[in-house]
Every structure is written in structure tokens, then in C-alpha cells.
Amino acid sequence: MKIKIKALKTKSKKIKDFRHNQWELIHPEHFGTKQDSNLWKKRYFIFKAEAGRDIVGVIQGDWVAGVMYIDQLIIKSDRHGKGIGKSLMDKAENLAIKNKIHKIYLNTGVGWKAVKFYERLGYKKEAKIKNFYERKDFWIMSKDLN
């Protein structure tokens, strides 16, 4: 039988059902338990920090299966070093604890000031990815919550 590969613009119910059904079959082999579909539902978050009516920082990410990913932490350039980043990270970590998340991870550029910031918050370098975003080297960093 000849197989055709097609690009899709959106996920149909048929595709969603296929993915769910196939993962349900293979999940016990990989994880040793029956799949909890609620655990594998990706959830997103975003928090902003404001000073008056000005946005001075944003953190956003998602979590799935007990692991949170910090996609972005951005602080207004003239507000660096004022505790805004730590406050936003604390907010994300509190959300993680409330949702029984056991690990948080993120990536940041090798040599960036952010590396020391995350290390002060308890994050550890897990791996270096060479030639990553815009061909720069990045660290994957993580923190275990329990």
C-alpha cells in the first residue's frame, strides 16, 4: 500500500481521536500506568507585572504531565534588578505547586545574565544545546519542586 503524507492546517477531531487512542495503547509500555488524559492536557499561563498602568514584566509558559515550561520571562529594560523577575518566577512556581507540578524547566542563552539569575532561584544547568536559536548556544535549566 502506498502511503501519502499530507500537511494539515488544523487538527481535526479525527486526528485528535487518533492521537488519543494510539497514546492510550502505548502509554503503559512507556510509563507503566494507564494514561490519565487529564494529566496530559496542556495548560497555559501568563502573568504580567504592572507599575501603575505600565507593564514592567511578563512571564508565560505551559504545563503538562507534571512538568512546567517557562517559555518567556521578559522584564522592562529599565526595571532589571528590581525584583520583578523573581516575583514573576515565584508566581509561576506557586502555580506549579498548586497544580502538583514536580519540575519546571526553561532555556536561556549561554553567557547571558539570566543564567546567574536562574541559578540564584535554584535552577540547575541540565544540558547545553549548541547552535540553537539564531545559531547561539543555550542552556536547558530545571528545578525540581519536590
- Residue 141 near residue 107, CB atoms below 8 Å: yes
In this predicted structure, what is the pLDDT of residue 140? Answer: 98
Residues 104, 82: contact at Cβ < 8 Å?
Answer: no
CB–CB of 89/121 below 8 Å?
Answer: yes
Per-residue pLDDT at 35: 87
Pick out the chain residues at pLDDT < 50.
Answer: none
pLDDT at 82: 95
Cβ within 8 Å of residue 19, ≥6 positions away: none
Find out whether 142 and 105 touch, Cβ atoms under 8 Å.
yes
List all residues 6 or more positions away from 93 whose beta carbon is below 8 Å from its beta carbon.
104, 143, 145
Q: Report whether 83 contacts 117 (CB < 8 A).
A: no
Task: Label residue 113 left, alpha or beta by phi (over 0 means left) and psi (-120 to 50 means alpha).
Answer: alpha
For the chain, which domains are there? 11-40 (no CATH), 43-144 (3.40.630.30)
52/73 Cα distance (integer angstroms): 20
pLDDT digits (tens, 9 = 90+) for 110-140: 999 999 999 999 999 999 999 999 999 999 9
